[in-house]
Amino acid sequence: MNKLKLNFWGAAGQVTGSKFLLETDTEKVLIDCGIFQGLKTVRQLNWSEWPIAPATIDAVLLTHGHLDHVGMLPCLVRDGFRGPVFGTPPTLEIARIVLEDSAKIHEEEAKRASEEGYSRHKNPLPLYTTSDVQASLQRFHPLETSTWKTFGSLQFRFRKVGHILGATFIEMDAGGKRFVFSGDVGRPADALLEDPERPESADVLILESTYGNKLHPDEDTEEILARIIRETIRESGTCIIPSFAVERLQTLMYLIWRLIRKNRIPPLQVYIDSPMGHNVLKLFEKYPDWHRLQSGEFKTITAAMNIVSHYGETWEAVDDSRPKVVVAGSGMLSGGRVLTYLSKYLQRSATRVILVGFQAEGTRGRNLQEGAHELKIFGKYVPVAARIHLLETLSAHADQGELLWWTALLERPPKQIFLVHGEPTATEALRIKLKMERNWNSSIPELFQTVTILP
């Protein structure tokens, strides 16, 4: 019988950097290849050597296209990986968009740090380049959902899990065991996406726990959003919504469009400053089977917004003195166009900032959420006078109750459960809940821990 080992290279004891290496006697398969985000000590892990040589890894399977699940692929390929990268068609297209954008940001930040002298390195380098990204794209192999794929001694398939366009959980049969890698579990009744499918069996369950200690509030999302925007208009201010470019941005466009159409907010200038997000919007047209929206709504929604394409247009939006809403990347304020707006508007009391997704520890978004009085942006400290709002109902992650719902169809308790992709308090809370409600025992792996799968 195969000896099976599971290596936790990321998203262990923290949310970002998802990477799980499954080893059999004959294969090494990496589930996700995400980048570490947040605290500087965590981000520095991106520059570390791989625990094993990338050339010895046979394949990569992607649950979805978010940066914390795909962001290190260019480094993996640059450092020797030559196998296939499997994912659903929309996942691979989103990964391409995300990686190309990420490389540009890395290159721009390295250039700015060099020119303005705020890096401690004499010649700051990007983590990876656009050339590295292009090389990684050559490894992409799209697979449809629900169909089993044989790879060596393994079989696996992707199944829809909500969260973002193309996102899946992975069922894998190896060494006589059924592994289930949850990826990021979406929410039932999402505004744009279908409800997640759910696994029916698992010997080994690798389960995310981002909101393992919380229940999302039962709030009227549209009313809260409308109230904040109306307040912004009354004060002739600017409402800035940092957004993840994939799915959250499209949801925000949809909701703001609905509010205007239903006269719940007056018509106003709405700037969508995320070229990557605009590219993802096109994928909603290309993959209608992955979401709830009707054909033709995309063009109507886009026509009602100011789509910012070039950086020069960003400054035109900044200089627009009219009340306005700005939706811009990135969602955790770790980079991107939103920083330009915040550098100019954060110190104004008429500004509103709405946080709509999970904010990892150490990110600017988390600092704002926790009441920071200043933020460091482009090497300078900017005072915070803006009012900060947290809209948890727009989270793309299942909460504790929804994670219990997602695992409720399992016909028997998994023999081994590993809780990942969560901060320690969230992961521990979910561990206790699973024990109390289901009498399921689960483990919380440490970063870079290797575990042997039980017979």
Residue 106 has a pLDDT of: 85
- Beta-carbon contacts of 93 under 8 Å, excluding residues fewer than 6 positions away, are 65, 166, 283, 286
Residue 123 CB neighbours (<10 A): 8
Query: Both tokens of residue 230?
Result: 């109306």
Q: What is the pLDDT of residue 123?
A: 72
Run means of pLDDT, 10 residues per run, the chain, 455 residues: 87 97 96 94 95 98 97 98 98 95 85 68 83 98 97 97 97 97 95 94 98 94 96 97 86 94 95 82 87 82 88 93 94 89 97 92 93 94 97 91 98 97 97 98 98 91
CATH topology of domain 5-214+396-452: Metallo-beta-lactamase; Chain A (3.60.15)
- How far, in whole angstroms, is CA 208 from its chain's centroid? 13
CA nearest neighbour of 395 among 253, 243, 271:
243
Is 275 within 8 Å of 105 (Cβ atoms)?
Answer: no
Cα separation, 82 vs 138, whole angstroms: 10
Domain ranges of the chain: 5-214+396-452, 221-394
Greatest pairwise CA separation for the chain in angstroms: 69
Provide DSSP, 47-86: GSPPSS-GGG--EEE-S---HHHHTTHHHHHHTT--S-EE
Q: Residue 408: CB partners within 8 Å, gap ≥ 6? A: 198
Contact indicator for 165, 282 with CB cutoff of 8 Å: no
Paired residues of 381 in beta bridges: 376
The upper half-sphere exposure of residue 248, i.e. CA atoms within 13 Å in the direction of its Cβ, equals 26
pLDDT in the model for residue 172: 98
Give the pLDDT confidence score for residue 118 in this predicted structure.
59
Name the DSSP class of 139. Answer: T
Helix (H, G, I), strand (E, B) or coil at 100: helix
CA distance 70 to 47: 15
221-394 is a CATH 3.40.50.10890 domain:
yes
Q: At what angle are helices 275-286 and 89-116 packed, to 10 degrees?
A: 170
Give the span between the Cα atoms of 171 and 321, in whole angstroms. 52
